[in-house]
């Protein structure tokens, strides 16, 4: 590692030893339900009912009090191979009155080509109605990897993450959706104030670019920051602040290395064009879905980021990160090895934390 790279890495790794305001030994983990395959996303649709999206293309309504769950009918079909399947659900801001939500999933074309699609539907009882495709991304490929597929509905817009589709020539190509964060209106239209609207050869949905494989996306209404977690190659996983029109560098620069060894791109982590991540994990932890905690169950954690991880050798479970307004001031691994490969994180109205994992479980974290 060259001296410039080492000097840049030091601030990102010097803060693990800070004490936690909540003793994880005082917490308990309960299994609420299982049998969902890979749990990719969850969203509470009422005080005691969570909508669960399974990777294999199923939606369920889970009663978190009884553990009983009902399959939702009329769910759209998806491509299911390797990483392809269902990815994320996000509720419309007016869900309580219009029952509308959004679903990201792999959609097929001429086999074996697929891309990321976004559907909108209304949840009426345990069935979907008025299902419509609002976006088919321009990221078609024979690969079934690096879809991204994370959703955030905020301020009248839907933000969508899409990975490079394992084709690294596209994240810097502005005529492709690969390796981008997209922003559309809730009806699928392109907002007129998107950063690249009207530029020839540039997809107008693009909000930011230069991403490899975004696996988490969450908006913090208090700090007004859109956070993103992103898989690096061999090491170099990132926590990013998503900013309008920003370039995040992939594959021109990277905090990681080629899987077989050797430098990527220019062989440096950042350059003058790159937006610097507030946190980098190296060795990597495979960060996944994330949530900005706001509940009353753990008041000391309000405003903290809760991020799932999948890397077995470096801590399956949750990572809690504290943003102090200028930097990540604390990072803590919670329940290492006890939660499985965590894919998604959310909270109930009571403030209890819910996670879904690759073992098909929905788990609840609360005080003992």
Mind listing the pLDDT tens digit for each residue in 117-164? 999 999 999 999 999 999 999 999 999 999 999 999 999 999 999 999
Burial-class residue 16 by CB neighbours within 10 Å (0-12, 13-18, 19+): exposed
Compute CA 341 distance to the chain's CA centroid, rounded to the nearest angstrom. Answer: 14
pTM (2 decimals)?
Answer: 0.93
Strand, helix or coil at 271?
coil
Compute CA 331 distance to the chain's CA centroid, rounded to the nearest angstrom. Answer: 18
Find all residues with CB under 8 Å of 3, minimum gap 6, and list them. none
Phi, psi of 25 (to 5 degrees): -70, -20
Low pLDDT (below 70) residues in the chain: 1-25, 314-315
Element at 320 (helix H, strand E): strand 317-323
Say how many Å lie between the first and final Cα of the chain, rounded.
45
DSSP for 159-180 reads: EEEE--TT-TTSTT-TTS-TTE
What's the pLDDT at 13? Answer: 43
Cα–Cα distance, 103 to 154 (Å, whole number): 15
Name the token pair of 356.
Answer: 């879904």
What's the pLDDT at 48? Answer: 97
Strand, helix or coil at 350?
coil
The CATH number assigned to the domain holding 300 equals: 2.120.10.30
Q: Do 271 and 310 contact (CB within 8 A), yes or no?
A: no
253 closest CA partner among 150, 196, 168: 168
Residue 265: left if φ>0, alpha if ψ -120 to 50, beta else—which one?
left
What's the pLDDT at 24? Answer: 60
Domain that includes residue 118, residue range: 3-367
Q: Where are the beta strands (DSSP E) in 186-233?
A: 206-209, 214-220, 225-230
Strands 362-367 and 27-33: antiparallel
What's the pLDDT at 368? Answer: 82
User: How many domains does the chain divide into?
Assistant: 1
Tell me how far CA of residue 356 lies from CA of 51, 67, 137, 310, 364, in angstroms.
Answer: 12, 14, 26, 12, 9
């Amino acid at each position: 590692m060259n001296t410039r790279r080492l000097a840049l890495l030091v601030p990102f790794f010097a803060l693990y030893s800070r004490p936690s305001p909540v003793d994880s030994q005082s917490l308990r983990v309960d299994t609420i339900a299982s049998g969902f395959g890979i749990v990719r996303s969850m969203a509470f649709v009422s005080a005691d009912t969570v909508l669960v999206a399974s990777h294999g293309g199923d939606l369920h309504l889970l009663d978190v009090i009884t553990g009983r769950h009902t399959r939702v009918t009329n769910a759209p079909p998806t491509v299911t191979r390797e990483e392809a399947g269902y990815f994320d659900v996000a509720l419309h801001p007016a869900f309580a009155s219009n029952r509308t939500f959004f679903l990201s999933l792999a959609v097929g074309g001429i086999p074996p080509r697929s891309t990321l699609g976004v559907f909108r539907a209304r949840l009426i009882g345990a069935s979907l109605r008025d299902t419509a495709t609002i976006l088919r991304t321009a990221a078609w490929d024979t690969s079934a990897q690096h879809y991204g597929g994370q959703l955030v509905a905020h301020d009248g817009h839907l933000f969508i993450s899409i990975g490079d589709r394992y084709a690294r020539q596209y994240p810097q190509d502005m005529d492709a959706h690969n390796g981008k964060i997209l922003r559309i209106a809730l009806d699928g239209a392109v907002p007129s104030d998107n950063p690249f609207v009207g530029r020839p050869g540039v997809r107008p949905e693009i909000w930011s670019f230069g991403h490899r494989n975004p696996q988490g996306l969450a908006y913090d209404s208090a700090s007004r920051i859109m956070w993103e977690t992103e898989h690096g190659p061999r090491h170099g996983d990132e926590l990013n602040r998503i900013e309008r029109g920003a370039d995040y560098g992939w594959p021109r620069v990277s905090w990681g290395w080629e899987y077989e060894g050797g430098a990527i791109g220019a062989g440096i982590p950042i350059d003058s064009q790159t937006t610097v991540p507030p946190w980098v994990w190296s060795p990597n932890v495979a960060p996944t879905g994330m949530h900005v905690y706001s509940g009353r169950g753990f008041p000391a954690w309000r405003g903290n980021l809760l991020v799932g991880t999948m890397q077995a050798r470096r801590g399956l479970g949750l990572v809690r990160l504290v943003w102090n307004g200028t930097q990540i001031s604390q990072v803590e691994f919670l329940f290492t090895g006890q939660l499985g490969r965590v894919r998604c994180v959310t909270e109930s109205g009571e403030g209890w934390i819910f996670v879904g994992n690759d073992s098909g479980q929905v788990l609840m974290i609360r005080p003992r």
